[in-house]
Each structure stands twice: as structure tokens, then as C-alpha cells.
Structure 1
Amino acid sequence: MSTGEKQFDLARISRRFPLLVENLAKLPNREAHLARIHELESRWQAFRENPEKSEEVVFFDAAPDDSKIDGEFDLVYAGGTLGLLHAAVMALKYGRKVLVFDAHAVGRTHRDWNISDAELGEFVRAGLFTADELETAIVNRYRTGFIKFYDRHSRVKTPPLFMDNVLDVALDADRLLELAAKKLKKTESKIIGHLRLTRVFVDRERTLVECADAKTGRRKIFAARIFVDATGTNSAVSRQLNGGRSITHVCPTVGTVARGFRRGDQADEVDFAVGEILVSTEDSADGRQLIWEGFPGSERRDEYTTYLFFYDSVESKADKSLFRLFEEYFEKLPQYKARNGAWRVVKPVYGYIPSVHHRGWSNRKRTAADRVLLVGDAAGLSSPLTFCGFGSHVRNLCRLTDLTESALRENAVDEKSLSTINAYEPRVAQMASLAEFMRPAGNGRAAAVNETMNAVMAALGSLDPEIGRAMFQDRISFAAFRKLLLKTARLHPQVFKKMFDHLGLKGAFWWIANIAEAALDERKTPSARSF
């Protein structure tokens, strides 16, 4: 079976991926999770097989055959995860009438979230949650966190780099989304689950958003001043706007929330007061550098989240199957963390996390069209070093919702105006190219990624801790980035050769151009944005 086939076949999946199926066996919704993984992978496979192909979803100066309207709104959102948070601010703070729909349940995610308290404050500033409400969604706070790359075969060896106030707050993502949904339902806005986007018709006065019931196929049409696409990595709208090339890099990610890890302070034990931000336990193989994350959840419930992922170019030949990565996850987990006899999965976590490398003097990805706006992973403009659109979305929430309100108030709903409503900043582009070092070069040594990242972490360890925090929150200044590069080059002189190996001459030029753009942007706006 090709896992890219559209038909979900549990028996065949069980034969091909026995460890995954066995470890999910006791979950009441096991089959639903496997079907969701299959759906994500099928969409990814379709994208890979036809990278230039894009389905036409948005139609301009056209209308559906039957334009009976089922509801009129200021904003209609497709996608009920990050889109729900944006929509809730628009409804609660600005009094806008919004609709949020999703092909699955609105307010449910197949990933967990970590963030910092400073970043969480953005929700309070946006008027979405109070500090007390946020506390009900927080399951743990860590004393610190660390990064450690495998160095057995590395010429650069470095101890764990400890970092405070980075991804040190563990959230119950579904609880946070539930809070937002409850608030939204108290307004004149609406939430509809199991409704699939089919087409969007744009004219000078409004957009008509055509949907189909995921179970019955019954069609509905909603009118909006702006349509917001928040459907994630494989957004059909994003692919159409970008000629099929909506992302350039991807991070296949799998893991579990589980109970029964052995506790202690050894490397293979878990400490519920310490987050493991990035950890590798082996050198690269098969064109991939596998990396772990370990984030303690509720200590009372003994829940600990582990992720296994790798960072790669969309065009590489490395296997990006979530099913196969899950099988490797269960094979390799004992090398990372020891389990006791009562170990069991509470829920799987998984997804394809997108990123875009900007090769030019400005943001080249289209994140808007007339009356159409992309947000979250559909826009895909966060730094890949953060490995999640959630943090970027939260850090920019006040700014993005304020700009959206301005667009509605001033009727500035053309593509040029809406294109300014995104999370892109020049410093994100410079960090995206740095993340290239986290994937192996075609002819490089197996230890090359770990060696380079050990040099980067050693450099960070010798600098002001604030530089490391800024780097992992997409806000590192040009001056700090320059210090990091120079320090890394002193520790690991081959780093610039590796840059050319990874990026090529043209890519290296654009990375330098992105760094120059960040420097110029910083000079124009010396008080850089911070949350």
C-alpha cells in the first residue's frame, strides 16, 4: 500500500505499521487518529506528486449557480484552530460578526502547545483572555529548559545549553480553544463543525464562501467582507495563490502524550520541572537528522509529551511519511527516555509543520488576495526554529487583529492592503536559512548537523542569555545575530563552507540579502517589536 492512497484501510495499516497500531490499541478513538494521520499524509503525498499543481478554489468576478445566502458576516474563517483564536479577538474586542467552520470539530488540535508567560500575555493584551482564565489552561510551568545535540562523533563538544523562559509553559491546547469557543458563542458570531470548504467567490462587494457538510454533502453559502483561510499546511487557497509552491520546507512531526516514563535526573529520565527543547541522540541517516523534544505536562496525571521530528526541504528525497516516522518513534523512544511497566499512550500528536525560505529583499509568498487573507500555518511565515505556527501566531495576535480591524474599518480589502497583515519580519527570513544547518547536506558527514549545531549552541552559551531567548522567539536583532555568527565561526570555522554546501551560491547570496534587509529594517524601526 502506498500511504498516499486515498482509501483508509485499517488492516493494511496494521500490517505495515504494527508498533503504531499496537501502542494506540487502548485508545477509544484509535481508528479516528489513524484516519486523520492517513488524511494528512494523503494530502501531503498529493502535494509532493504534483508540486506545481493547485486546485482552483478562489474565483474572482464569478458567482455560484445558486447564491442563496445562509448567513452574512464581517469575516468567515475556514479552520478552527489558530483561526478560532484570531476570530475570537475580532468578535470580542472589535465587535465583529464572524463565522468559524472546520472540516473536523472546531477547537480541537492534534498537537500540544508550549509557550512562555511573556508570550501568553499577548492574549490578555488582545482582550481575549484574563490572566485567571489562562491559568485554567496551563498544565505545567518549568524551572528551565535545555538544548543538547549528540556529540559522540562531533569535533565540537558542548554541554547542555540551559535556557529560561523559552517554551516553559505547557498548555492544554484543547482547553484553551474551548475557552475561546465559549466566548465566541456568547456573541452574534457562529461556529460550525464538520463543514468543508469547497469554493470562494470574490467580487467587488463581498466574498461568497461555499461549503459542504462533511457527512451529508449538503451545500451552504456564507457571505463575508473578508474570507480568512486558516486551514493549515496544505491549504488549497495558499497553493493556488502561490502556483502550487506554498511552502519550501517542512517539519514532519510525530509523538505522544504518555504516562509511565521513569522519573529522575539522568539523561534518559524525565524531570517535570525541566523542558527538553531540542535533543538529538544519534547522527543523521537516510538524509534526515532526527530530533526529539520532551515537554512535561500535568505532573499530577503523570503526562509527558515527546516529539520526534526532522527539518527538511520539500523537494528532498527523504521519507516524510508520518506513518513511518511514527513507527521509528516507537522503535527509538527507549534510546531517548526510559519507560516503566505501566507506560501507555494518552493521545498521539502529529502533523506537518511548514516554513518558507524567503529569497529576496522582501516577503515573496502571497498571503492575501482581494478580500482573501491567510493566517497561521496557511500563511506559513514563522521561523522554522520555533517549529510551530502557534507561537508566531500568539506573538503577532494583537498586531494582526488590529490590522484586520483597520482593513474592515477603512474598507482596505484589496490584495496589497491585506498582504501587510502577516507575521513576516526580515529577522524571520534570516533565521530560516540558519535552520538549513539542521538538515544534512547530500554529501556531508553523518555527524555534520550535530557538530554545527553544537558550535551554534556553544556560541549561544557564551553570549547574553537574552540572545538565545530572542532567537527562539523570532525576534533576534541584527546585532545579536551578527554576534552569534561571528562567535560560531570562531568555534567552527567550517560553518560558512557548510552554508554554501547547504544553500548554494544563489541561496547564500539571498541569505546575506535577508540579513542586510533585517539590518536596514532595524535601523528604520530601532525599537523592534516585542510582545
Structure 2
Amino acid sequence: MAEVVPPPEALPASDAWWGSLRQRRRELPPTVVQQASQSLGSWEVDVVIAGGTLGIFLAAALAKRGWRVILLERGILRGREQEWNTSHQELQVLLELELLTPPEWEAVQVTHYPRGRIGFGEGPHWWVEGVLNVGVDPVSLLEFLKQHFLAWGGQVWEQTAFQSATVHPDGICLQTTKGQIRAQLLVDAMGHRSPIAAQARQGQPPDSVCLVVGSCAQGLPDQPTGDLFYSFTPAQNGYQPFWEAFPARDGRTTYLFTYCDRDPRRPSLEQLWRDYCRLLPAYQGVELAQIRWVRKLCGVFPAYRRSPLQLPWDRLLAVGDSSGSQSPLSFGGFGAMLRHLDRLQQGIHEALAQRQLNQAALALLQPYQPNLAVTWLFQKAMIPPLREKTWDPNSINRLLSRVFAAMVAAGPQVVQPFLQDVVQFGGLAQALWGVTRRDPSLVARLLPRLGLPELVEWAGHFGALGLFELLQRLTDRPELETDPQDYFWKRRREAWRYGCGQDYKLFP
């Protein structure tokens, strides 16, 4: 029997919330946003951003452009100790927008490793460079951003919680635990449990979740490489275990994660933690007694088919995890925030400057993205069926092995964007054709399990992905450049570009 290791401190509370989701009760959330017909009259600031961890990125960018910004944080604005993994390519935007100086940009990158592994079951392994290979220190990153934000005239209201908002024709009035604020625009960056997002979704529970447990620990064998997407066991206990591992400044980080629907028979976080402790010795080649635990981690990351979320009110915009703008295959929105930061800060700047703050105009800042929508079918394919007694628990590993064999064979221009949550039409078509050609019987067995309605819906998203790429190519010409004041045309072109993944540039 595996040694009993105390779980993360946050596990009971997170597990209780996950348990409530599996009970499938739909309760309407409290109303925190209301509308009023009378004018507000004046504003104290231009933008209020609720939620500091990811909100500080937009707050700093907007303050640098001269807008009056207040950032609300219900605790203290400070990054967690656990590193965020990203890449040089994704971090480059912080230099391009001059939110960090070059020495600061270098200083926040505390770990690097040369390549990451992909492998499933008994299939082959592949090594990929330039994906999640940089460990960023959130403590120093957020402190640098905070100090620049303050220097540019921004205000940080720490230990201040958002309570409610009233939308007026000419502004928005917020009630916080420290008083009232009047502004032109409210940006919701409060995360996936935002009360504003909950009201907008009318209590709709998530369509699926990604469950994560893990740790940063010492005493593990020294390995200079990482694991990006790895599995060495078949599906078990109602889920398929996947692993990630990264060198960290004070040890090695390892995650066990899985994708689940809300069936009550799916595992609890407590079950995942027990399995993590049981499987970790075989995964990392170390006995539990040799491990010195630096930090223990857990999380429940919900995903919604209706994403990104377009709020139904004027003067309100959801970003980051509140909006669900990251792929349902990823957990945590740091990478998505970096990818969309330039687009969002430019769009918000123009919306404020041109008074385009109604619901229709702001919805264009979180448009439909078919390259995210098509990934839902991949997630469903990685959730084991519970009612098929003859289902082979090794089939998910075999499917993924075939998929990545096809993508790797197509080249880094296909596999590398996919691993960074960017799906492109040509790469996806090559991967699907490669899987079908390599193992048609596996595909034939998978399709009935996915279901006809899901396949039809996916085909629509796949067609939209191709259409967006066509529109992007047709409009990406100098002669079609229009007046910089044409807010709506610029937002539509951005929607096509980002929606088909053509914003992504492959770096060596």
C-alpha cells in the first residue's frame, strides 16, 4: 500500500466545489449587475479592472497609454510561489508593449529547459522545443508590473472585493467593500468563479472540467528536460491520467491532470491525490520517503462550450479565465492572456477613445474563435466512457499516439502551435488525415462513441476555421487597410486572424 501523504491544504474546499458540480443541481446565482436608465453624470476613473492576478497585465498596458485605471484585488496583489510555464515567444509581448524593461524580462525567467517530451502508453516518444520551456516567477513578475502600473498613475485597491455594479447609459457605478467607484468601463478578470460571469451564464454549470493535483518537490532524480503531455498507464478509476513535469527553481514540478464530465462517478480530487502518490514513484523513479515536499497543488478548472463569454451588458467586458478564452485543453489562463494581451489592450484603448462601449462593440473584443471550439471534440475523446463494459482502457493512449505521430510527421509548424493552444486549419486537416490513414479502425470505433450531434457541431466549427482562414488571407492586404477610427472593421479582422490561429508565428 502506498504511503499516505497529506494532501494540499486547498484540496478539501476545491473537492467540495467539484462535488457540488457533480450533483448537477442548477441554482441561479445572485444578481450582482443591474441596469439603470438615469445618467451617471461623471466618472472618477476610466477603467476599473476587478481581479489582480491577470488583471494587472491589462491594467498596466492601459495606464501606460494614459487611461485612469483602478485595479481591485480582494487580497494582496502578489504572485504565487509556483512558477508559471510559458515560452520566450509568448513572453515577448511584455517587451513589445514595454511593460517590462529588458533586465526585468530576463529576471522573471528563473528556469529554462531545452525540450519537452510527448508520449502515450507503449507508443513512441517525441521531443519538442520552445513549448512551456520557461519557468516564470509570478512573484517578481507581478511586482514589476505593479510598480510600473503605479508609476503610470494607476491605483491598486488591495483587500477590496467587488460587490455589485449598476450600468447607466453614460457609465458604470461599482460597489466595493471599500466604497463606490464610477467609471466608463468595468473589466471582469476575477477568474472562472467570477460572480459577474456566473450571472451572465445564468447559473449554467461547466460542460466539463480539468482536474489537477501536483507538487513542487525535492529529492527527485535530476532531469534537465520536461514532460508536456505524457501518459504511462491506461485509463483507471473512471479517468485517464496525464502528466506534466518541469524543472523548477526549488525542485521539480509534477502534475497529474485529467479531463472529466460532471458524472458523479468521476474521481474526486482526493482520489486523484491518492493516485498521484501511488504513481509518482514509478513516474519519476523515486520512493515517496525520499521526496521533500516544497509545495502541494490542486485545482478544478471548468470549461464551457459557450466561450469566450460575451457579457450581455454595456460597459462590461470579461477577460482571462472569467471569459473562458483559453482552450478547454489547458488549465489556467496565463498563456491565453499573453497571447491576447496586445489585441485586448489595443481594442479597449480604441473602445474608450471612440466611445464604443455598448454590448455589441465590446462583444467584438471576445469574438467566437473556431480554433478553440474545435478542441472540444479532442477533450471528449480523452474522457473514458462509463457505460461501455467492453471499452479498451488503452484506447485513449493509442488514439493520442496516432494523433501526435501524424502531427509530428507534418512538422513543427503543426505540432508546436497545437501544444500552445493554437489550432490552425491546415495543421488540423493534416493531423486528422494522418490518423485516419494510420489507423482507420481506431477512428471507426471512436466516432460512434463521440456521437452524431457532437460530430455535426464539430464539423461546423471546422468549416468555420477554414472560412476564417480564407477571410483572413483575403483581407490581409495593404489596400484593404481602412481608417484607424473604423473600430468595427479592425475588430472583425482581428477575430478572423486570431480565430484561425494566424496570429501565431513559429519561432526557432
Shorter-chain TM-score: which interval?
A: 0.7 to 0.9
Match of 1:200 among 140, 165, 168: 165
Match of 1:161 among 112, 116, 126: 126
Matched residue, 1:60 = 35
Q: Could you tell me how far 1:177 is from its partner in structure 2?
A: 1.4
Matched residue, 2:480 = none
With structure 1 as the length reference, what TM-score do the two structures score?
0.82
1:344 aligns with 2:321: no
1:191 aligns with 2:177: no
SS at match of 1:161: strand
1:238 aligns with 2:190: no
SS at match of 1:386: coil
Match of 1:310 among 245, 258, 276: 258
Match of 2:96 among 120, 125, 135: 125
Provide the rounded CA distance (Å) in 2 between the counterparts of 1:167 and 1:364. Answer: 23
Task: Tell me: CA distance 1:160–1:523, structure 2 relative to 1, closer, same or farther (3 Å).
Answer: same
Consecutive unaligned residues of structure 2, counting only runs of 5 or more, are 477-501
1:436 aligns with 2:395: no
Task: Tell me: CA distance 1:58–1:334, structure 2 relative to 1, closer, same or farther (3 Å).
Answer: same
| Counterpart AA for 2:233 | E
Match of 1:508 among 439, 449, 455: 455
1:283 aligns with 2:242: no
Matched residue, 2:277 = 330
With structure 2 as the length reference, what TM-score do the two structures score?
0.86
Match of 2:431 among 466, 469, 484: 484
Matched residue, 2:371 = 427
Matched residue, 2:482 = none
Provide the rounded CA distance (Å) in 1 between the counterparts of 2:286 and 2:140. Answer: 28
Q: Deviations over 1:277-318 (max 9, x none)?
A: 0111211123211111001112xx4x21111111122x3334
Matched residue, 2:408 = 461
Matched residue, 1:224 = 183
| Counterpart AA for 1:121 | Q
Task: Tell me: CA distance 1:54–1:18, structure 2 relative to 1, closer, same or farther (3 Å).
Answer: farther
Task: Tell me: CA distance 1:310–1:458, structure 2 relative to 1, closer, same or farther (3 Å).
Answer: same
Matched residue, 1:268 = none
Q: Is the 8 A contact 1:478 1:519 kept in 2?
A: yes
Q: Could you tell me how far 1:80 is from its partner in structure 2?
A: 1.4
Matched residue, 1:20 = 6
Task: Tell me: CA distance 1:462–1:245, structure 2 relative to 1, closer, same or farther (3 Å).
Answer: same
Q: Could you tell me how far 1:495 is from its partner in structure 2?
A: 4.6
Provide the rounded CA distance (Å) in 2 between the counterparts of 1:252 and 1:332. Answer: 16
Provide the rounded CA distance (Å) in 2 between the counterparts of 1:293 and 1:186. Answer: 38
Q: Is the 8 A contact 1:227 1:371 kept in 2?
A: yes
Match of 1:172 among 118, 131, 137: 137
Provide the rounded CA distance (Å) in 2 between the counterparts of 1:445 and 1:511. Answer: 24
Matched residue, 1:292 = 243
Provide the rounded CA distance (Å) in 2 between the counterparts of 1:524 and 1:384. Answer: 25
Which segment drifts farther, 417-426 or 198-207?
417-426
Q: Is the 8 A contact 1:149 1:450 kept in 2?
A: yes
Provide the rounded CA distance (Å) in 2 between the counterparts of 1:39 and 1:200. Answer: 28
Q: Could you tell me how far 1:166 is from its partner in structure 2?
A: 1.0
Q: Deviations over 1:175-213 (max 9, x none)?
A: 21121112112232222232222211111122122222x
Match of 1:210 among 154, 175, 178: 175
- Percent identical among aligned pairs is 26
Q: Could you tell me how far 1:57 is from its partner in structure 2?
A: 1.4
Task: Tell me: CA distance 1:277–1:423, structure 2 relative to 1, closer, same or farther (3 Å).
Answer: farther
Q: Could you tell me how far 1:439 is from its partner in structure 2?
A: 1.4
Task: Tell me: CA distance 1:399–1:88, structure 2 relative to 1, closer, same or farther (3 Å).
Answer: same
1:412 aligns with 2:412: no
Provide the rounded CA distance (Å) in 1 between the counterparts of 2:354 and 2:441. Answer: 52
Q: Is the 8 A contact 1:499 1:508 kept in 2?
A: no
1:392 aligns with 2:336: yes
Task: Tell me: CA distance 1:510–1:383, structure 2 relative to 1, closer, same or farther (3 Å).
Answer: same
Provide the rounded CA distance (Å) in 2 between the counterparts of 1:47 and 1:204. Answer: 37
Q: Could you tell me how far 1:498 is from its partner in structure 2?
A: 5.0
Matched residue, 1:154 = none
Provide the rounded CA distance (Å) in 2 between the counterparts of 1:96 and 1:246. Answer: 36
Matched residue, 2:465 = 518
Matched residue, 1:138 = 109
Q: Is the 8 A contact 1:357 1:429 kept in 2?
A: yes
RMSD (Å) for aligned C-alpha atoms: 2.5
Q: Could you tell me how far 1:47 is from its partner in structure 2?
A: 4.8
Q: Is the 8 A contact 2:315 2:359 kept in 1?
A: yes
Provide the rounded CA distance (Å) in 2 between the counterparts of 1:238 and 1:176. Answer: 27
Which segment drifts farther, 504-513 or 280-289?
280-289
Q: Could you tell me how far 1:52 is from its partner in structure 2?
A: 4.8
Provide the rounded CA distance (Å) in 1 between the counterparts of 2:341 and 2:183. Answer: 21
Q: Is the 8 A contact 2:26 2:205 kept in 1?
A: no
| Counterpart AA for 1:305 | T
Provide the rounded CA distance (Å) in 2 between the counterparts of 1:524 and 1:382. Answer: 23
Q: Could you tell me how far 1:487 is from its partner in structure 2?
A: 0.2
Q: Could you tell me how far 1:401 is from its partner in structure 2?
A: 0.9
Q: Is the 8 A contact 1:111 1:351 kept in 2?
A: no
| Counterpart AA for 1:256 | S
1:251 aligns with 2:210: yes
Task: Tell me: CA distance 1:101–1:364, structure 2 relative to 1, closer, same or farther (3 Å).
Answer: closer
Match of 1:84 among 39, 56, 60: 56
Provide the rounded CA distance (Å) in 2 between the counterparts of 1:110 and 1:284. Answer: 32
| Counterpart AA for 1:293 | E
Match of 1:262 among 212, 221, 245: 221
SS at match of 1:404: helix
Q: Is the 8 A contact 1:80 1:102 kept in 2?
A: yes
Match of 1:100 among 71, 89, 107: 71
Which segment drifts farther, 505-514 or 50-59?
50-59
Task: Tell me: CA distance 1:364–1:387, structure 2 relative to 1, closer, same or farther (3 Å).
Answer: closer
| Counterpart AA for 1:445 | D
| Counterpart AA for 2:70 | L
Q: Could you tell me how far 1:44 is from its partner in structure 2?
A: 4.4
Q: Could you tell me how far 1:38 is from its partner in structure 2?
A: 4.2
Q: Is the 8 A contact 1:436 1:502 kept in 2?
A: no
Provide the rounded CA distance (Å) in 1 between the counterparts of 2:248 and 2:200. Answer: 39
